[in-house]
Amino acid sequence: MAIELLTPAQIDEMRPAGRFVAEVLTALREAADVGVNLLELDALAHEMIRARGAESCYIDYHPSFGASPFGKVLCTSVNDAVLHGLPHDYALRDGDLVSFDFAVSVDGWVSDSALSVIVGTPREEDQRLIDITTEALGAGIAQARAGNKVGDIGRAVGDVGRAHGLKVNTQFGGHGVGRTMHGEPHIPNDGRPGRGFPLKPGLVIAIEPWFLHTTDEIVMDPDGWTIRSADGSRGAHMEHTIAITDGDPIVFTARD
C-alpha cells in the first residue's frame, strides 16, 4: 500500500472529521455511567453519525483476523479487554474501566481516536494506568515531527511504559490514516530511534499506545474481535489522529 503525503489544503479538509470524532468521544465519556449498557453507547454513537451525515469505518469492517464484519460503530473494551471490544448486552458496573475506540469518514476523510474512562468509583491503579497511557501518547506525539522516523515515536511510547514498570506489546499499534482507516506506515508502540519510515510534512497517522497492568500477552474472545489480557489484568488505550507538518504536529482529534 502506497504512503500518501497530503497537501496543506487536504490537511485542512481532514479537520472536520477530527472534530466530529472528538465530539462523539466526549459524549460517550459523559454518557458512560453505572447501569448504562454498551449497546446504548453504540446506539448513541450511531445516532450521532446519522445526524452528522458521516460514515462509520467499523460497521462493515472485516479484516483477515475478524470472524465476521464488525457490525457496530464503536469499540467498547471493558476491564481486561483492551482493544476491538465488540459492543454486547452488558451494563457498566461501578469501577469498570472502559476504553472507547471510534473512527468515521466525514466528506471522504477519516479520523480515528480512543480514550479510556473509569465508571463510578475509580481504582487508584486504573487511574494510574490511564495516566501512563496518556503520557505515552503525548510523548509519541512530541516525536511526530518532520525529520524524525517512525522508530522515534515508538521508542518514546515504549520508554514511558517501561519507565512505569509496564511491558510493551507491539502486535497492535498506530497506522496511517487518510481516505481509509488503516494504512501505512505501521506505528508500533516501541522502536529504535532514527529507524523506520521517515516522517514528512503531509503524513497523517494515528498514534495509539495501550498497556496492560501486569502483562503484554493477549488473547482473543470467541467473537473474533475483543482482545483481552492473557492474565485478566486491566488495560487502557489512548489514540489521536495527527498530521506531520513543517512545525508542530496537528492533533485532529484533540478533545476539550
Q: Is the pLDDT of residue 203 over 70?
A: yes
Q: Say what the pLDDT of residue 64 is.
A: 73
- The reply to whether 213 sits in an annotated binding site is no
Q: What is the pLDDT of residues 176-197, one digit of tens each?
A: 999 999 999 999 999 999 999 9
Q: Say what the pLDDT of residue 1 is.
A: 58
Q: Say what the pLDDT of residue 151 is.
A: 98
Q: Is the pLDDT of residue 66 over 90?
A: no
**Grid coordinates of 149:** 522516523
Q: Is the pLDDT of residue 36 over 90?
A: yes
Integer distance in angstroms from the first to the last C-alpha of the chain? 34
- The reply to whether 240 sits in an annotated binding site is no
Q: Is the pLDDT of residue 10 over 70?
A: yes
- The reply to whether 190 sits in an annotated binding site is no
Q: Say what the pLDDT of residue 67 is.
A: 72
Domain spans of the chain, in order of start: 8-251
Cβ pair 39, 54 in contact under 8 A = no
Q: Say what the pLDDT of residue 139 is.
A: 98
Q: Is the pLDDT of residue 241 over 70?
A: yes
Task: Return mean pLDDT, the chain.
Answer: 96
**For residues 11 and 245, what is the distance between their CA atoms, to the nearest angstrom?**
10
Q: What is the pLDDT of residues 137-159, one digit of tens each?
A: 999 999 999 999 999 999 999 99
Cβ pair 59, 108 in contact under 8 A = no
Q: What is the pLDDT of residues 71-110, one digit of tens each?
A: 999 999 999 999 999 999 999 999 999 999 999 999 999 9
Q: How confident is the model at residue 123 (pLDDT cuts 50, 70, 90)?
A: very high
Q: Say what the pLDDT of residue 63 is.
A: 76
Q: Is the pLDDT of residue 62 over 90?
A: no
Q: Say what the pLDDT of residue 75 is.
A: 98
Q: Say what the pLDDT of residue 72 is.
A: 97
Name the CATH superfamily for 8-251: Creatinase/methionine aminopeptidase superfamily (3.90.230.10)
- The reply to whether 182 sits in an annotated binding site is yes
- The reply to whether 175 sits in an annotated binding site is yes
